[in-house]
């Protein structure tokens, strides 16, 4: 049930931070705590107007547009603010910054931190950074990493940058490289896995992905980096960007990623826990792309626990 006090009519002038954004998404951000169904009802009934006219949910805003937002009961932020950014998390995120300018922020996301809240996670990377940077007018995730995967995550500080990077990601404009420790001996002749992937949602709400001829085209390129007893460190380059792509392609190749409790083998994961690998050994270690005529390349160092395993086993 919604709580808090109803707001007065608002007339909001759109700035460049919201240029090109759909009105439904804009309202979801402005009216935090209001159910999505309520927002679509406001649009359908014409209670929300842009430049005094009715608009559909897919209408895209322009700089200078005047948005009329009717009185609507919103959740009191104080009631929702059960999550907070601890000093240790603030320090961790500050020290994890790999690159920053007025357009873009790239973070070396730690394993175990979701990129956004939801599904029982009250505070993700994007929410934490917004709390730490309340002055930021615009801060949005460019792409995602699984919660247990560590490494490079891009966040746009301008809508123009977000749209540009989405365009690069849809093509081959961003060179993304991962390091994965996989079970067994990966053959140097196995340079790619090209298998379609189909996403399923179990009754529990858990997402599972399987190779399936009816799935979406997916291609991952691989290169052997180093060999260990019972495992191989490989570099993975996802050419496509499907959910759990690298993890499922490694499993399909007969070499599940060590520490993968969804697609790996429990007995193997247990053996490597005893050798110091206590999490999914998948790390987005490098990004390279051209943005507005400037080449940007960053590398994220392995976390101490993974680096310790690599050093001790060498």
Catalytically annotated residues? 146
Closest CA to 223 of 165, 278, 286, 274: 286
Phi, then psi, of 92 in degrees rounded to 5: -60, -45
Burial class (CB in 10 A: 0-12, 13-18, 19+), 213: exposed
**Residue 16: DSSP 8-state:** G
Distance between first and last Cα of the chain? 57
DSSP-derived 3-state class of residue 92? helix
Neighbours of 289 (CB within 10 A): 19
Phi-psi region of 240 (alpha: psi -120 to 50; beta: other; left: phi over 0): beta
């Amino acid at each position: 049930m919604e709580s808090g006090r109803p707001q007065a009519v608002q007339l909001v002038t759109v700035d460049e931070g919201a240029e090109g954004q759909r009105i439904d998404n804009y309202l979801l951000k402005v009216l935090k705590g209001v159910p999505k169904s309520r927002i679509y009802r406001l649009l359908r009934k014409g209670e929300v107007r842009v430049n005094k006219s009715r608009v559909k949910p897919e209408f895209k805003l322009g700089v200078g547009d005047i948005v009329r937002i009717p009185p609507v009961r919103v959740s009191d932020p104080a009631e929702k603010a059960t999550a907070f950014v601890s000093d240790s998390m603030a320090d961790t995120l500050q020290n994890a910054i790999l690159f920053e300018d007025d357009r873009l922020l790239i973070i070396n996301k730690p394993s175990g931190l979701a990129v956004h809240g939801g599904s029982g996670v009250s505070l993700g990377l994007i929410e934490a950074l917004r709390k730490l940077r309340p002055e930021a007018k615009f801060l949005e995730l460019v792409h995602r990493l699984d919660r247990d995967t560590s490494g490079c995550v891009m966040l746009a500080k301008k809508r123009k940058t977000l749209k540009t990077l989405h365009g690069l990601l849809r093509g081959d404009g961003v060179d993304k490289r991962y390091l994965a420790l996989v079970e067994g001996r990966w053959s140097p002749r196995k340079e790619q896995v090209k298998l379609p992937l189909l996403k399923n949602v179990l009754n529990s709400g858990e997402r599972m992905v399987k190779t399936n001829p009816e799935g979406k085209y997916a291609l991952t390129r691989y290169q052997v980096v180093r060999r260990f007893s019972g495992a191989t460190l490989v570099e993975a380059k996802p050419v496509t960007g499907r959910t759990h792509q690298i993890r499922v392609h490694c499993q399909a190749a007969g070499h599940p990623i060590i520490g993968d409790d969804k697609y790996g083998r429990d007995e193997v994961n247990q053996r490597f826990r005893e050798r110091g690998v206590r999490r999914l050994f998948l790390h987005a270690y490098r990004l390279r792309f051209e943005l507005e005529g400037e080449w940007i390349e960053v590398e994220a160092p392995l976390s101490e626990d993974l680096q310790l395993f690599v050093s001790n086993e060498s």
